[in-house]
Amino acid sequence: MRSIGHFIAGREVAGTSGRFADVFEPMTGEVQAKVALATKAELRAAVENAREAQRDWAATNPQRRARVLMKFLELVQRDYDKLAELLAREHGKTIPDAKGDIQRGLEVVEFACGIPHLMKGEYTEGAGPGIDIYSMRQPLGVVAGITPFNFPAMIPMWKFAPALACGNAFILKPSERDPGVPMALAALLIEAGLPAGVLNVVNGDKEAVDAILDDPDIRAVGFVGSSPIAQYIYERAAATGKRAQCFGGAKNHAIIMPDADMDQTVDALIGAGFGSAGERCMAISVAVPVGKATADALMEKLIPRVEKLKIGPSTDPSADFGPLVTREALERVKNYVEIGVKEGATLAVDGRNFKLQGYENGFYMGGCLFDNVTRDMRIYKEEIFGPVLSVVRAHDYAEALSLPSEHDYGNGVAIFTRDGDAARDFAAKVNVGMVGINVPIPVPIAYYTFGGWKRSGFGDLNQHGPDSVRFYTKTKTVTSRWPSGVKEGAEFVIPTMK
């Protein structure tokens, strides 16, 4: 059985805590590895290592830092298939979906390769009599990322790529459920030329998280996970003077207008609602048809599509989605389905009893489809994070707009329509951070920023895009005047440019 330690000072090291977590193979339900859980002392050792390495890395010019990331891109492409297989084996998503996970991370690495341009400051000549003013961006020092199980390649790269490009050292605390790919990415960065210690991977649980939040040398922390933990990390990081960028749960709605192309809409809902077994923060989990005729037409097409979903092992190229990540996750989702039934929603498709021949102990579940869900039900208010789609019938456009706008979560939303005026009005008015128009999963491309509103996001700056450079740097502004032509004598009033 594999034993996974930590990645410190450029190499994998064994854990010393004596505590381990099981890493399952979701396809079979078997334990495939043991991952060490770090102590506060182990985290501190990684931080001290990073602090020492960061000085020289920050002094390396941005172009040379970008070259390391460019080489890293090449190496990940070289090992693409191997990384995707490892990711699928630990997480459970299909191999094509695992490749998409890696690719969306690489796109942010590509963006970060433009760091020589992105870190340029501003300059004003002659801002006052003989006075020039200019600004510069400088790295924070040691920063950290706490990343979730559902995107073990993408989100670590979203975090560490811009942080490293800006000249910081990085402490990564990935999910203990699927740590293999983050460890492999760290090794590839060393192979690409990143100095040892600039990126360290510390595997662990809450003890490691709290050690990150309390460490005085960690200047910023980014997190993706559930909203209660996002809020906890944001508040505790702020209390210790750290910058915090914390993203939580979601309840993403898809509004279906009466004029929508129903076939295209159903295709979008099936992929966005059930892909990766619904274990995506941008999954569509609520469909909102406007009007009874629209709702009836939608259900008529949705039911047979959900019933025909193909669930299979991650290695099956024809599978629509694979197992959930752990047995606990599977039982949690099944429990939510039972709650929905008890609350009075109509369970049009029930996938709870799905079993896959030859993989009876795997963490599989078929797709579930609810109709007649109302906004007071728990299955509407809470994030299920599984292959469950709820249909909430809206009488008109105003009610449909109010549903995502008034929900506690505000991550993503989509509208399906042929009416440009309706789409424009919806995009302007909906109280949600990311909007799709006939796009079911509105994840912005790498040079825009990603982030939700309300309980989906805590902090002022988003992930990737220009916000990532702002988050991982501090701005220094210099006001300069040279002696030539300066009049003598003290000045007792505040300087102005009058």
* Catalytic-labelled residue, pool 113, 166, 281, 368: 281
Q: Is residue 131 part of a domain?
A: yes
pLDDT at 140: 98
Spatial CA neighbour of 388 closest among 413, 365, 368: 368
The one-character DSSP state at 389 is E
Q: Is residue 496 part of a domain?
A: no
* Same-domain check for residues 399 and 471: no
The average pLDDT across 284-302 equals 98
Spatial CA neighbour of 436 closest among 266, 230, 278, 252: 252
Are 280 and 273 spatial neighbours (Cβ–Cβ below 8 Å)?
A: no
pLDDT at 497: 61
* Same-domain check for residues 146 and 61: yes
pLDDT (tens digit, 9 = 90+) per residue, 171-196? 999 999 999 999 999 999 999 999 99
Domain CATH code at residue 151: 3.40.605.10
* Same-domain check for residues 155 and 200: yes
* Same-domain check for residues 146 and 83: yes
pLDDT band, very low/low/confident/very high, at 490 (cuts 50, 70, 90)? confident
Cβ neighbors of 361 (< 8 A, separation 6 or more) are 28, 29, 30
Domain CATH code at residue 257: 3.40.309.10
Q: Is residue 118 part of a domain?
A: yes
Spatial CA neighbour of 389 closest among 369, 366, 413, 409: 369
Residue 446 scores a pLDDT above 70: yes
The one-character DSSP state at 444 is P
The average pLDDT across 10-20 equals 96
* Same-domain check for residues 306 and 183: no
pLDDT (tens digit, 9 = 90+) per residue, 222-248? 999 999 999 999 999 999 999 999 999
Cβ neighbors of 268 (< 8 A, separation 6 or more) are 254, 284, 414, 416, 438, 439, 440
Number of domains within the chain: 2
pLDDT band, very low/low/confident/very high, at 373 (cuts 50, 70, 90)? very high
The one-character DSSP state at 451 is -
pLDDT (tens digit, 9 = 90+) per residue, 71-92? 999 999 999 999 999 999 999 9
Q: Is residue 369 part of a domain?
A: yes
Give me 190's structure tokens. Answer: 């060393």
281 assigned to active site: yes
Containing structural domain, residue 203: 2-248+456-478
pLDDT (tens digit, 9 = 90+) per residue, 138-174? 999 999 999 999 999 999 999 999 999 999 999 999 9
Q: Is residue 85 part of a domain?
A: yes
Phi-psi region of 467 (alpha: psi -120 to 50; beta: other; left: phi over 0): alpha
- CA 144-146-147 angle, 5° bins: 135
Q: Is residue 108 part of a domain?
A: yes
* Same-domain check for residues 368 and 289: yes
pLDDT at 238: 94
Residue 270 scores a pLDDT above 60: yes
Q: Which amino acid is at 88?
A: A
Residue 339 scores a pLDDT above 60: yes
pLDDT at 494: 78
Residue 485 scores a pLDDT above 60: no
Q: Which amino acid is at 404?
A: P
* Same-domain check for residues 279 and 371: yes
* Same-domain check for residues 295 and 198: no
* Same-domain check for residues 290 and 369: yes
pLDDT band, very low/low/confident/very high, at 410 (cuts 50, 70, 90)? very high
* Same-domain check for residues 231 and 264: no
Q: Reading across the β-sheet that carries 252-256, which strands appear in turn?
A: 346-349, 368-371, 388-391, 284-289, 252-256, 412-416, 434-437
* Same-domain check for residues 93 and 179: yes
* Same-domain check for residues 81 and 216: yes
Q: Is residue 397 part of a domain?
A: yes
Q: Is residue 493 part of a domain?
A: no
What average pLDDT does the structure give for the chain? 96
pLDDT at 498: 63
According to DSSP, the β-strands at 199-201 and 409-410 are unpaired
According to DSSP, the β-strands at 243-247 and 457-458 are antiparallel
Residue 483 scores a pLDDT above 80: no
